Amino acid sequence: MLAFSFIPDEKPMHALGIDYAGGIEYEEFVKAQELKIIESHLDYYGKFRWISQNVQQKCARLTPTTVAAIPNLASILQQAFAAECGLVAFGD
């Protein structure tokens, strides 16, 4: 699973006390890459970070069809957008 946590832009990537946002399975990760929501150079088993501006841009690209194809990631993005924070992801 690729686990996402909410993280304010000013906190370092490995900050303590960040809140778990949810996770996605490999199939949803691949679909999100096909839909250009997740960048093609990112790795499911790696780690990466999106600042709040990245989250905002990704949310702007969500359509009902996209949300249906990647429901977990879409929900995580929408929650981060509402909280005005970024996301950090860790593959396990």
Q: What is the pTM of this model?
A: 0.94
pLDDT digits (tens, 9 = 90+) for 44-82: 999 999 999 999 999 999 999 999 999 999 999 999 999
Q: Which amino acid is at 76?
A: I
Class of residue 5 by CB neighbours under 10 A (exposed 0-12, middle 13-18, buried 19+): buried
Q: Is the dihedral of CA 11, 13, 36, 32 positive or negative?
A: negative
Q: Which value, in Å, is the radius of gyration of the alpha carbons in the chain?
A: 12
Look at residue 14 and tell me whether its pLDDT is greater than 80: no
Between the alpha carbon of residue 52 and those of residues 13, 46, 65, 88, the distances in Å are 13, 20, 23, 11
Look at residue 17 and tell me whether its pLDDT is greater than 90: no
